[in-house]
Amino acid sequence: MIESFLFSGFGGQGVMFAGQLLAYAGMDTGLETTWIPSYGPEMRGGTAHCFVVLSDKPIGSPLVRNPKTALVFNNPSFEKYDPLIKTGGLLIVNSSMIVQSSNRTDITTLNIPATSLADELGSLRVANLIMLGAMLAANHIIRPEDLKQALADHIPAHHTDMLGMNYAAVDLGMEHAVQVLAR
């Protein structure tokens, strides 16, 4: 088994943290893992993306041309990566910020209003974890409890007061994705 993931959006949306958290959860559960970040010089507000590869075998190359799963947080990311997702793959769209729809019939698209849901929870900063929770509902490579444990183990010390809200965001993303997938 080998799974490739792309996280892409503006700097400041938590794209890097979401990818890094998935990588930590993979490592913590014994999977081979790579995480490769890339961001523009201005970081916050500029473009940012990262690739994560998880596998039960050694990973030959961390480079990903056609990710199996993409979590896109803004329009430029959608436009750039929608065509590159592997056939049979999964596209998770922050539909609060992306008004376009994928025309592809060879992938599964999950529209998750992550920013709106995060606002309802009380902090826009957890939209990334809502998207990650949605991914867990559709791709079972990591168990939710393993992701939450990785979150507890690796959250920056100055954000530990947000741990409960982060868990709620993961759960909300999963619940919303299950509803969307059931349609």
Q: Domain ranges in the chain?
A: 2-182
Under 8 Å between Cβ of 142 and 26: yes
Please state the pTM of the whole predicted model.
0.92
pLDDT tops 80 at residue 152: yes
- For residue 165 the two structure tokens come to 């809200």
Architecture of domain 2-182: 3-Layer(aba) Sandwich (3.40)
Amino acid at 25: A
Percent of the chain exceeding pLDDT 90 equals 77
> Beta strands of the chain (E only): which ranges?
2-10, 32-39, 47-55, 69-72, 90-94, 108-112
SS3 of 85, please? Answer: coil
Split at pLDDT 50, 70, 90, the class of 45 is: low
Rounded to an integer, the average pLDDT of 159-173 is 91
N- to C-terminal Cα separation, the chain: 28
- For residue 27 the two structure tokens come to 């490592």
Q: How far apart are CA 68 and CA 6, in angstroms?
A: 8
pLDDT tops 80 at residue 41: no
